[in-house]
């Protein structure tokens, strides 16, 4: 017999002994109902005492007398509340299980009969909260399920008493319970006008309670049994009567308390109990989601991260089980994964809400960008309105992911790699399109925080292709037999690449849908079909010309080596609009650009203003000076002699002055207004001083992406990765994903020599090799493994240099006779590759 089974049997025996006796008259055992000198205990009191006696190894009456205990018909009763089952939640059918008549189980609300001591006090709480409530719900189908009966934790008024007892007990046990900073924050009361109702749980009390319970095997076992019963009953209740959640906020107390219990998040609970709990949370109404988001937003980041990790483990567990069972997992149809996603959604917004938030939107910039592209707002509404229908939580919280500056939990913690590997994006995207028509189909597009940047990019690809095909079908039906060109075709001269591109894109932009076609480039006087490589070269030449300092379109900031908009540029606004279009086309054509903007430019592209902290990227010296101003402890006005007028120089060395506010030259900067000065200076430097140029740039960008889900899928850092690629290189992953053609295999000597040479190259030489073979020296979204480089045999040994098809990431290698020759010719090829050797 296992230790757990023996303990269970012993508790049952003590309960029977305390309530029914051993059958011997005048039994001398003071813990036996047959002892006429002791007070008759109620079922509640007997339950508490039975566990206490079992844990203290008290003596039972002799076996002969215990066997005389009367049995009760199980069909007319319910099991004792303290049944201790296996941690998997499987109930035992032990024939010795004692039962309690339904009419005997009544909640004991008499606070005067609380047992003495910490140990008994814990048991009293279990009885009061879990056992009696569970019993009442189990008695007869006519009983109404009430959250007050289920878990009225908010009404427990002796939390302080218990904490006092624990404090006294800790002196003996050398256990010190402290209220952490996170727990203090949880106890703060939010503005009741913000949220209609909130959980009223003393989280500190329950964290302390569960921590002490974990030190005692008996208590922990009883708690586990109670949780199993409670979660099963709550799940059943919500499936049969979900409207209860809309009328009684006490359900929130249950959710909060259960999530604080370590047993619920243990590995043993992943299979049954925890998924049921997530199902309960997933079925909560919107108002309850809002309340929970506000409540959890006051937690410490580490506490939220633990919960998130447990949910992610469940998702990974589901994926693994399907793999082991060799069954095809359709992630968007797996109910456990769907429930987990909905719970993570609440935690995602809680993380944003509890962190640093900036809700400021560049309304003026958006309006001017719209006028630059002459596009009605309705055109861009289709995608994100579909998202708004299901992103109601963010709407109610008046919050989007773009508002987040520093969340409680890093965004990466919400991304589940195992899940992303099995998502069938084509089917999931189809679900999303159907959901736009009012269907309740689930799609991960509604929970973008779960997705990797690579999968988001694939969704973007599907969205663009679906729009193109839909338009092509419509035009074919209207003009039967007419051929529709699927490409945006431009022909340019290398010597006039900017002007030629500007003219042709301006003509194409008369119908915005043309800009969303695949780009097809021809260089004047040159032969060759554009299968991707020519377009890559076109983008490279455009970027090189655009960012040429001699043109004066952008300024190279020496201290950061980043480019910035020239507020005194002689170029017209159409030039900036063209650059915005080029960036948009690069995204749709999956081309990486070698551009060096500060990271906050991508935040501005998504409609957010740059702030003081962003100066650090572009002007680190100015940023440090402003920080020194804010930290200065002397007399700011007399010592620094600053005013609300700033002085700056243009690229020609001419000095200009700008008043940050009206009459700024006469307004001194003081200790009281220095923060205002810093904020206004930052806004002028990063926003208003280049407002015309940037808004034209943004207008061109949105000409291409006005109907795209880009803003609703990607964050600023992901947009930068999408446009510029990554400078994190894993050449081992490139080798592992490589393919071979023309007679080469992985074991060919020339192939082995090639990879050996590559790994021996310097970092700069490796980047040059990438440029030679792919047209870019950056890694794409998803890393170098996504390039799928192909090494193809190009004849026998010869003195010919290696060549490359950049459109297909193919390197053509003669079968060189040795490694030395391969290295020599490969280095020569990549060094002088510009202008030849790339097709």
Residues labelled as active-site residues: 807
Tokens of 641: 């002699």
Query: At a CB cut-off of 8 Å and minimum separation 6, what does 186 contact?
Result: 203, 204, 295, 298, 299
**Burial of residue 5, with CB atoms counted within 10 A of its CB: 0-12 exposed, 13-18 middle, 19 or more buried:** middle
Helix (H, G, I), strand (E, B) or coil at 270: coil
Q: How many CB atoms lie within 10 A of CB 241?
A: 11
Phi and psi, residue 811, nearest 5°:
-110, 125
Query: At a CB cut-off of 8 Å and minimum separation 6, what does 466 contact?
Result: 429, 433
How far apart CA 355 and CA 353 sit, in angstroms, is 6
Tokens of 533: 């490589």
Q: Which residues pair with 792 in a beta bridge?
A: 741, 812
How far apart CA 19 and CA 77 sit, in angstroms, is 15
Instruction: State how far the alpha carbon of 512 is from the alpha carbons of 288, 506, 516, 688, 695, in Å.
Output: 43, 10, 7, 28, 18
How far apart CA 472 and CA 479 sit, in angstroms, is 10
CB 289 within 8 A of CB 280: no
How far apart CA 292 and CA 303 sit, in angstroms, is 14
How far apart CA 735 and CA 733 sit, in angstroms, is 5
How far apart CA 112 and CA 121 sit, in angstroms, is 12
Instruction: State how far the alpha carbon of 133 is from the alpha carbons of 28, 80, 137, 153, in Å.
Output: 35, 13, 6, 11
How far apart CA 420 and CA 450 sit, in angstroms, is 8
| Residue among 137, 128, 152 at smallest CA distance from 47 | 128
Instruction: State how far the alpha carbon of 553 is from the alpha carbons of 246, 412, 564, 633, in Å.
Output: 58, 36, 9, 41
Phi and psi, residue 330, nearest 5°:
-105, 95
| Residue among 433, 431, 465 at smallest CA distance from 330 | 431
Sheet holding 803-805, edge to edge: 739-741, 790-793, 810-813, 803-805
Cα dihedral: 78, 84, 88, 90 (round 10): -40
What beta strand segments (E) does 442-566 contain? 487-492, 518-523, 554-557, 562-565
Query: At a CB cut-off of 8 Å and minimum separation 6, what does 643 contact?
Result: 664, 665, 666, 667, 668, 669
């Amino acid at each position: 017999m296992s230790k757990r089974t023996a303990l269970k049997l012993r508790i049952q025996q003590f309960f029977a002994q305390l309530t029914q006796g051993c059958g011997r008259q005048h039994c001398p055992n003071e813990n036996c109902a047959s002892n006429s000198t002791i007070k008759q205990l109620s079922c509640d009191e007997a339950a508490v005492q039975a566990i206490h006696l079992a844990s203290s190894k008290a003596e039972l009456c002799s076996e002969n007398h215990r066997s005389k205990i009367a049995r009760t018909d199980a069909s007319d009763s319910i099991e004792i509340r303290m049944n201790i089952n296996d941690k998997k939640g499987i109930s035992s059918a032990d024939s010795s299980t004692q039962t309690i008549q339904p009419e005997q189980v009544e909640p004991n609300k008499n606070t005067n009969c609380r047992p003495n001591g910490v140990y008994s006090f814990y048991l009293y709480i279990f009885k009061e909260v879990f056992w009696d409530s569970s019993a009442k719900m189990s008695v007869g189908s006519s009983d109404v399920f009430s959250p007050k009966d289920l878990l009225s934790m908010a009404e427990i008024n002796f939390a302080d008493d218990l904490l006092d007892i624990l404090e006294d007990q800790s002196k003996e046990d050398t256990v010190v319970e402290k209220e952490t900073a996170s727990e203090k924050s949880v106890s703060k009361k939010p503005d009741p006008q913000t949220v209609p109702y909130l959980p009223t749980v003393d989280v500190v009390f329950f964290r302390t309670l569960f921590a002490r319970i974990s030190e005692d095997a008996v208590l922990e076992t009883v708690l586990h049994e109670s949780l199993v019963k409670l979660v099963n009953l709550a799940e059943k209740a919500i499936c049969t009567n979900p409207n209860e959640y809309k009328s009684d906020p006490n359900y929130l107390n249950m959710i909060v308390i259960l999530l604080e219990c370590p047993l619920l998040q243990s590995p043993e609970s992943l299979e049954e109990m925890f998924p049921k709990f997530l199902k309960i949370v997933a079925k909560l109404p919107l108002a309850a989601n809002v309340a929970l988001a506000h409540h959890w937003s006051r937690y410490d980041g580490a506490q939220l991260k633990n919960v998130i990790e447990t949910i992610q483990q469940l998702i990974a567990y589901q994926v693994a089980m399907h793999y082991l069972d060799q069954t095809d997992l359709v992630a968007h149809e797996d109910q456990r994964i769907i429930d987990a996603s909905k719970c993570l959604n609440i935690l995602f917004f809680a993380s944003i809400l509890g962190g640093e938030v900036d809700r400021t939107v560049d309304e003026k910039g958006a309006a001017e960008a719209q006028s630059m592209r002459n596009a009605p707002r309705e055109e861009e509404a289709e995608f994100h309105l579909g998202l708004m229908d299901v992103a109601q939580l963010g709407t109610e919280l008046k919050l989007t992911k773009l508002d987040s500056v520093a969340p409680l939990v890093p965004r990466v913690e919400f991304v589940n790699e195992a899940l992303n590997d099995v998502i069938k994006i084509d089917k999931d995207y189809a679900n999303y399109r159907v959901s736009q028509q009012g269907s309740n189909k689930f799609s991960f597009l509604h929970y973008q925080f779960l997705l990797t940047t690579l999968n988001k990019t694939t969704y973007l690809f599907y969205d663009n292709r679906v729009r193109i095909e839909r338009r092509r079908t419509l035009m074919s039906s209207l003009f039967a037999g007419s051929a529709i060109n699927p490409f945006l075709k431009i022909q340019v001269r290398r010597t006039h690449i900017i002007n030629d591109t500007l003219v042709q894109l301006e003509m194409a932009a008369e119908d915005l849908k043309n800009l969303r076609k695949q780009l097809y480039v021809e260089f004047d006087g040159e032969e060759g079909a554009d299968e991707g490589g020519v377009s890559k070269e076109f983008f490279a030449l455009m970027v090189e010309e655009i960012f040429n300092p001699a043109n004066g379109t952008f300024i190279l900031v020496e201290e950061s080596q980043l480019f910035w908009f020239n507020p005194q540029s002689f170029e017209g606004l159409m030039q900036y609009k063209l650059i915005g279009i080029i960036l948009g086309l690069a995204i749709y054509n999956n081309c990486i650009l070698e551009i060096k903007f500060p990271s906050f430019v991508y935040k501005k592209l998504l409609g957010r203003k740059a702030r003081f902290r962003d100066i650090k990227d572009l002007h680190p010296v100015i940023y440090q000076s402003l920080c020194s101003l804010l930290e200065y402890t002397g007399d700011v006005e007399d010592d620094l002699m600053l005013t609300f007028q700033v002085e700056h120089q243009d690229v020609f060395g001419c000095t200009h002055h700008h008043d940050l506010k009206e009459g700024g030259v006469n307004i001194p900067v003081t200790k009281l207004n220095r923060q205002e000065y810093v904020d206004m200076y930052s806004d002028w430097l990063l926003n208003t001083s280049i407002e015309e140029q940037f808004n034209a740039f943004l207008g061109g960008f949105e000409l291409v992406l006005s109907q795209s889900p880009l803003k609703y899928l990607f964050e600023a850092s992901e947009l930068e990765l999408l446009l510029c690629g990554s400078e994190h290189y894993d050449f081992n992953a490139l080798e592992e994903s490589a393919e071979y053609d023309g007679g080469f295999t992985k074991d060919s000597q020339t192939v082995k020599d090639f990879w050996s040479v590559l790994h021996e190259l310097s970092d700069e030489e490796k980047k040059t090799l990438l440029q030679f073979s792919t047209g870019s020296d950056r890694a794409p979204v998803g890393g170098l493994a996504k390039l799928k480089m192909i090494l193809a045999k190009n004849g026998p040994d010869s003195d010919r240099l290696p060549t490359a098809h950049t459109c297909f990431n193919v390197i053509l290698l003669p079968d060189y006779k040795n490694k030395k020759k391969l290295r020599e010719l490969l280095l020569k090829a990549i060094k002088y590759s510009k202008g030849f050797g790339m097709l």
